[in-house]
Amino acid sequence: MTGAADHRNPIVSIVALEKHFGAFRVLHHVSLDVFPGEVVCLIGASGSGKTTLLRCINQLAQQDSGAIWVDGELNGFTIANGRLHRRSEREIARQRLATGMVFQRFNLFPHLTALENIVEGPVEVLRRPRAAAAEEVQALLARVGLADKAGHYPAQLSGGQQQRVAIARALAMHPRVMLFDEPTSALDPELVGEVLAVMKELAASGMTMIVVTHELGFAREVADRVVFMDHGRILEQGPAEEVLLRPREARTQAFLSAVLG
Ligand SMILES: Nc1ncnc2c1ncn2[C@@H]1O[C@H](COP(=O)(O)OP(=O)(O)O)[C@@H](O)[C@H]1O
Ligand SMILES: [Mg+2]
């Protein structure tokens, strides 16, 4: 009986999302549920709306219509007397902590060491005592294979190491869901594996993850579900094997052929 899974509540629920930039429709009727512990890989051509969708989930961008629930809360709004009320910036900042974002460019502070980059959030935002936070950060650095790099500055680290620091920095805020936007696209090919290995470990630990990636091998091995986006819509989705090996849609087939060369 696999019924247990069917009764879980989604941890991210996206309903009928629409977003435009001027006259350009970047997201069209996007609906997607992601369940606790699930790894969902988002694939699709450049410009199909993948980044914008992630940015809406963690409220770096705001949709024109539709709704997103994260961990049981409606993003950006409260509902009272049947009406939507915009949340304060402070409330939105609090909500944003539920999702940890890892970008294509690592966005580390160049003047801070690896440890300082990671410890900043827990101390300044979560108001954790610095000594306790630093201890936890050391453990996180060990988890991403960088125990000996705590005192290094970003310029002294490879791209793969910097990206692993960025992952540790997001994890230090104890997010419920991790969002990855092409985390290996800016890396030299020989550094991709070390970052994917950390992401694999994270997935195995039960973290809920939404991953935009062109790494189809990773998607096939790690993703529970693959979602193909095309011109702002979800064109098809399903188990990784199904979408990647037996895509139903011609556009998915064309995209996969292009990526595989
Ligand atoms: N801030 C913005 N203003 C105007 N157009 C944008 C903006 N952000 C993204 N776009 C456009 O929206 C489309 C989708 O972008 P994006 O979400 O980045 O797609 P993807 O991540 O799949 O490449 C692209 O055509 C892009 O040029
Ligand atoms: Mg993008």
pLDDT tens per residue, range 196-244: 999 999 999 999 999 999 999 999 999 999 999 999 999 999 999 999 9
Torsion sign, CA atoms 187, 96, 239, 235: negative
pLDDT band at 7 (very low <50, low <70, confident <90, very high): low
pLDDT at 1: 35
User: Measured in angstroms, how far is the CA atom of residue 214 from the centroid of ligand 1?
Assistant: 17
User: Measured in angstroms, how far is the CA atom of residue 11 from the centroid of ligand 1?
Assistant: 25
Any idea what DSSP says for residue 87? P
Rounded-to-integer distance, Cα 164 and Cα 152, Å: 13
User: Measured in angstroms, how far is the CA atom of residue 234 from the centroid of ligand 1?
Assistant: 16
Res 6 pLDDT > 80: no
Amino acid occupying residue 154: P
Q: Where are the alpha helices (DSSP H) in the chain?
A: 3-6, 50-57, 89-96, 114-124, 130-143, 159-171, 189-204, 216-222, 240-245, 250-260
pLDDT band at 3 (very low <50, low <70, confident <90, very high): very low
pLDDT band at 261 (very low <50, low <70, confident <90, very high): confident
Ligand 1 atom closest to Cα of residue 44: 22
Task: Name the residue of 17, 27, 51, 54 to mutate for ligand 1: max ligand atoms within 8 A of Cβ.
Answer: 51
Rounded-to-integer distance, Cα 241 and Cα 136, Å: 37
pLDDT band at 189 (very low <50, low <70, confident <90, very high): very high
User: Measured in angstroms, how far is the CA atom of residue 166 from the centroid of ligand 2?
Assistant: 18
CB 11 within 8 A of CB 70: yes
Ligand that lies nearest to the alpha carbon of residue 185, given by its number in the listed order? 2
Q: Is the CB of 63 under 6 A from ligand 1?
A: no
pLDDT at 4: 45
pLDDT tens per residue, range 73-84: 999 999 999 999
CB 48 within 8 A of CB 28: no
